[in-house]
Chains A and B, each alone.
Chain A
């Protein structure tokens, strides 16, 4: 009766992937909320991880017609002490009788539905929130052949995918012309003689016949030249070019004066995360330095950077000076690709803004790959005006205003689309 034993182990295990996708799509909003919350609570370094998503039970519940209440009778095994007519207190947990063991220990019957989304899914939702998921993927998750391999002409050996058809045909054509050149010349000569012999009346029939035989032989020879020969094949050639440097350091500079509230910090944080992800894709190692400042700047841990609040005035130049100091001490520009990202509401102490510009132009920009300034808040401030002058003169400096979280990605893209190639 046995037909045969089939080994299915190697055939597709992810049969349910379509169902899982549909599930995620249905609860997109909730998952997005979770991701948003998770981003706020996470360190920049472990931004790329999965996350547990909790859905309220009623959301994933599928209703059906069901009975409740009234009178019902149920049969159970394992009677020890009861006889007919005994009365028993109803078990806690509502349903009574039939579900002695079903009530959960703390009396809460409704468990939430918890599941885990993967790293990729997390990133997808993260970028989703930033309004342009597709673009970010091409920007941030490239196969990056540009950085690793370059085109280098054509070669006669390679894989079929790299076959260049036009080139190959061109080579074939030139080969045919070259090999058949002499033969074809003789052929033309003979044809001319034949034409002459046929036109000229006193031609001997024997001569015409001989010419024809010769012509025929030459034609046959031409025909044996192959149209296409393996020798003609040409393939696109690519060579791998090693990247000069694989280390980057990213300075996050943030204003923590009283005017930077939670929302503004969140915007700043998202900007820093994007920059971090961007750098991480292109460098083997990325260090992140956090500098926060009010009237004085300090280097702090990430946690302190985002969480503690301080009030007071604002002296932006203090942060720039500290950045310069750290570069000199720990990150020689010859070895490191230096990136700066500054976020502030731009409300600087008046006389300080000019000094900021001097510091940037004189010390930081010459050693930095790129320096981006993001002003959270729309008002024009004196720092903005000073920086505008910097932007005009320096290609590796960019600045933008961001008002809300969903504007970050477009701004980020704009900042980095200027051909800033590490």
Chain B
């Protein structure tokens, strides 16, 4: 596997090389772009122009591009604030910053070549240290690969608003620092800690969010604060009701249906929170929601970007725009990026999303252009179709889980030598459930697809009940799947929930028959 993936790009590149020499013989070869190893602003613009032209010829639809040259230190800063150019302040970002900086200084890690932000215009950072071929690779990868993915993929379209995100982050930063000034740093920090613990349970998985600009956001906040407070008080109303109204049913449930978005539920219903606290919860929730599509499309996103930097640069090379040395350097980085160590390798740490994603898009193109009988059997719709349309469709309408489920071909399973292992905590040994053979293709594909399903990876915990008439305690319910329990962190996390909710919090873990098999509880200020 190691060799296959390392050799692959070179193999593909070989015909390109010979093809070019043929072209030059016929005199169609254009003059090469200058290719010193040091970059300059003029060169970046020149290369960008060519890359953009090539991308357009392939029909890639993108946001406008904004390139920014930054230093390594600024790159570390960008790491610390989850890649965003601006973010609110919190100690955990400081921790990230300190550890990244330390590792970088000691040479334990290289920095990413690029960071790209899902915004409109699409902001891409180029690091000062990169050579010119690297800058070209980064531009093709980020500005045309990622950028078109951000613009095209349905999850991003549905969940994120590229035009508003930077404004929203500016607003979030200003609001949180205002809170720190007004209420002291300690309560704000504690509140953020608690929100961060629940961040992955603060997203709407199915509902659509609404899009707002900065100004609207600001003006709506005040209305919301006043309105919310009213709503809440209403829920816990102690004023006696007029006698003529019929009393509510004593066994009314609240919430009437389980809620998956715990942070949202707390923001709207926690009885004791101040309006500013609700707003902070909302900010964390919104930012979590913004990153939710990225977490679900890692393989597709990286695969798409890698596929396109590879395709664009090769196409430019075939036109004769790039020199051999330039192309070799690009391919070298490309090869490093898509290296997939096998499971027995000491450096193995799971599937490399670049490797799998790139291989899948490349494989799809192959199936379109020269399908085998096996491909016709497994992917009848795709085999022989126009590859650009097919890839475009795949990019737009899938996320990792469904993309793998739909398009992972037996050919690729064999090439990666994928196999599926079942780990049962009750058993002393692991069991191999399926390998890359006729019996196993379907199983491996399903397992790999499920492995990339966030709903499957993250514990299913929902707001189950609030004791509205009693002690106001909040009950969360964890539905077990495959007997998977929660780690010991759970006690810490529900302390955070209790801090937000303000009253006792219970967490029940139920098996598939709905029987409570385990429970935890926490009191606020305990």
Interface contact tally, CB-CB below 8 A: 271
Which of B11-19, B40-48, B252-260 interfaces with chain A? B40-48
- Judge whether A97 is part of the interface by a CB distance below 8 angstroms: yes
Chain A residues with CB under 8 A of B420: 73-76
Complex-state Cα separation, A20 to B198, whole angstroms:
23
- Known contacts A3-B65, A77-B418, A84-B440; A67/B73 CB under 8 A: no
Q: How far is the CB of A95 from chain B (nearest CB, A)?
A: 9
Asked whether A223 is an interface residue with its Cβ less than 8 Å from the other chain, the reply is no
Q: Of B76, B128, B417, which is within 8 A of A79 by CB?
A: B417
Q: Does A101 lie within 8 Å of B348, measured CB to CB?
A: yes
Fill in one digit per residue for A294-316: 1 if any B CB lies within 8 Å of its CB, else 0: 00000000000000000000000
B484 touches A84 (CB 8 A): no
Instruction: Report Cα–Cα, A24/B89, bound state, in Å.
Output: 13
Binds B, one of A11-19, A192-200, A244-252: A11-19
Binds B, one of A56-64, A212-220, A320-328, A404-412: A56-64
Do residues A9 and B418 form an inter-chain contact, with CB atoms below 8 A? no
In the complex with contacts A2-B52, A3-B64, A6-B66, A70-B493 CB distance below 8 A: no
CB nearest neighbor in B for A75: B448
The interface residues of chain A lying within 8 Å CB-to-CB of B490 are 63, 65
Nearest-CB residue, chain B, relative to A77: B416
Among B67, B73, B349, point to the contact of A13 (Cβ < 8 A).
Answer: B73
Which of A85-93, A149-157, A385-393 is found at the contact surface with chain B?
A85-93
Across the two chains, which residue of chain B brings its CB closest to A115? B98
Instruction: List chain A residues, Cβ under 8 A from B424.
Output: 70-71
Structural contact, A65 and B486, CB atoms closer than 8 A: yes
Chain A: minimal CB distance from B124 (Å): 10
- Report B49-80 CB contacts with A as 1/0, cut-off 8 Å: 10010000000001011111111011011001
Q: Nearest CB to that of A68 among chain B residues?
A: B487
Task: List chain B residues, Cβ under 8 A from A87.
Answer: 429-432
A70 and B94 form a contact (CB under 8 A): no
Is the pair A89, B429 in contact by a Cβ cutoff of 8 Å? Answer: yes
Q: Which residues does chain B contribute within 8 Å of A71, judged by CB atoms?
A: 422-425, 482-484
Q: Using a CB-CB cutoff of 8 Å, which residues 385-438 of chain B contact chain A?
A: 416-425, 428-437
Query: Chain B residues near A417 (CB, 8 Å)?
Result: none
Asked whether, in the complex, the Cβ of B489 is within 8 Å of the Cβ of A88, the reply is: no
Q: Do residues A22 and B52 form an inter-chain contact, with CB atoms below 8 A?
A: no
How far apart are B308's CB and chain A's nearest CB, in angstroms? 15
The residues in A between 1 and 60 inclusive whose CB is less than 8 angstroms from any CB of B are 1-9, 13-16, 18-26, 60
Judge whether A77 and B461 touch: CB under 8 Å. Answer: no
Interface string of A93-112 (1 = CB under 8 A from B): 00011111110000000000
Contact check, B91 vs A26: say whether CB atoms are below 8 A apart.
Answer: yes
Indicate whether B345 reaches chain A with its CB closer than 8 angstroms: yes
The distance in angstroms between the C-alpha atoms of A23 and B90, with both chains bound, is 8
Interface membership of A147, Cβ < 8 A: no
Q: Does B213 contact A (CB under 8 A)?
A: no
A100 near B433 with CB under 8 A, answer: no
Residues of B within 8 A of A80 (CB): 342, 344, 417
Smallest Cβ distance from B23 to chain A, in angstroms?
Answer: 28
Among A16, A73, A99, the residue within 8 A (CB) of B422 is A73
Are B94 and A22 in contact (CB-based, < 8 A)? yes
A40 to B22 alpha-carbon distance, docked (Å): 75
Tell me if A69 and B485 are in contact (CB < 8 A): yes
Rounded to whole Å, the gap between the CB of B119 and the closest CB of chain A is 12
In residues 475-497 of chain B, which contact A (Cβ within 8 Å)? 478, 480-487, 489-490, 492-493, 496
Q: Given A87-B430, A97-B430, are A66 and B487 neighbors across the interface (CB < 8 Å)?
A: yes
The 8 Å CB contact of A76, one of B68, B93, B419, is: B419
Given contacts A67-B486, A77-B343, is CB(A8)–CB(B74) below 8 Å?
A: yes
Cβ–Cβ contact B189 & A26, under 8 A: yes
Question: Measured between C-beta atoms, what is the minimum distance from B217 to chain A in Å?
Answer: 22
Q: How far is the CB of B179 from chain A (nearest CB, A)?
A: 14
Interchain CB contact (< 8 A) of B348 among A62, A64, A88, A100: A100
B248 at the interface (CB under 8 A from A): no
Question: A73-B423, A82-B435, A96-B430 in contact; A64/B418 too (CB < 8 A)?
Answer: no
Contact of A6 among B67, B89, B98, B193 (CB under 8 A): B67
CB of B154 closer than 8 Å to a CB of A:
no
| Those of B437-486 within 8 Å (CB) of chain A | 437, 439-440, 444, 447-448, 450-451, 457-459, 461, 478, 480-486
A2 CA / B142 CA spacing, docked (Å): 13
A77 touches B417 (CB 8 A): yes
A64 adjacent to B484 (CB under 8 Å): no
Inter-subunit contact B94/A101 (CB<8 Å): no
B483 touches A69 (CB 8 A): yes
The number of chain A residues with a CB under 8 A from chain B is: 62
Q: In the complex, what distance in Å separates the CA atom of A77 from the CA atom of B341?
A: 8
* A99-B349 CB under 8 A given contacts A80-B417, A89-B429: yes
Smallest distance from the beta carbon of B258 to chain A beta carbons, Å? 16
| Chain B hits for A67, CB < 8 A | 457-459, 484-487
Q: In whole angstroms, how far apart are the Cα atoms of A25 and B94 in the complex? A: 11
A114 partner residues in chain B, CB cutoff 8 A: 102
Bound form: Cα–Cα A86–B482 in Å: 21
Binary interface encoding of chain B residues 119-131 relative to chain A, with 1 for a CB under 8 A from any of its CBs, else 0: 0010001001000
A112 to chain B, nearest CB (A): 12
Which residues of chain A are near B341, meaning CB under 8 Å?
A: 78, 101
B1 contacts chain A at the CB level, 8 A cutoff: yes
With known contacts A62-B193, A101-B346, A1–B94 Cβ distance under 8 A = no
Query: CB distance B81 to A16 under 8 Å?
Result: yes
Assembly CA distance A12 to B13 (angstroms): 42
Q: Does B201 contact A (CB under 8 A)?
A: yes
Q: Is the CB of B489 within 8 A of A66?
A: yes
Most B CB within 10 A of own CB, among A20, A71, A75: A75
Instruction: State whether B68 touches A70 (Cβ < 8 A).
Output: no
Residue contact B1 to A77, C-beta cutoff 8 Å: yes
CA distance A308 to B121 in the complex (A): 68
Interface residue A72 (Cβ < 8 Å from any Cβ of B): yes
B482 adjacent to A70 (CB under 8 Å):
yes
User: Which residue, B49, B198, B487, has most C-beta atoms of chain A within 10 A?
Assistant: B487
Interface string of B344-356 (1 = CB under 8 A from A): 1111111100000
Report B-chain residues with C-beta under 8 Å of the C-beta of A24. 94
Interface check B236, CB cutoff 8 A: no
Hey, what's the 0/1 contact readout for A367-394 against B, CB within 8 Å counting as 1?
A: 0000000000000000000000000000
B113 at the binding interface (Cβ < 8 Å): no
Cα–Cα, bound, A95→B125 (Å): 37
Contact A64 B71 (CB under 8 A): no
Tell me if B489 and A65 are in contact (CB < 8 A).
Answer: yes
A22-B89 contact given A70-B484, A77-B340, CB 8 Å threshold = yes
Contact between A63 and B65, CB atoms less than 8 A apart: no
A60: B residues at CB distance < 8 A: 95
- Contacts known (A22-B91, A87-B429); A75 close to B351, Cβ less than 8 A: yes
Enumerate chain A residues within 8 angstroms of B89, measured Cβ to Cβ: 18-19, 22
For this complex, 26 residue pairs linking A to B, each with C-beta atoms less than 8 Å apart, are A1-B62, A2-B45, A3-B64, A3-B66, A7-B68, A8-B68, A8-B69, A8-B74, A13-B77, A14-B77, A16-B80, A19-B90, A22-B90, A62-B193, A64-B198, A67-B486, A70-B485, A71-B483, A75-B418, A79-B417, A82-B419, A83-B432, A97-B421, A100-B343, A101-B345, A115-B102
Known: A5-B44, A65-B486. 13 other contacts (CB 8 A): A5-B48, A6-B66, A8-B125, A13-B74, A22-B89, A23-B98, A66-B459, A70-B482, A73-B447, A83-B437, A84-B433, A84-B434, A100-B344
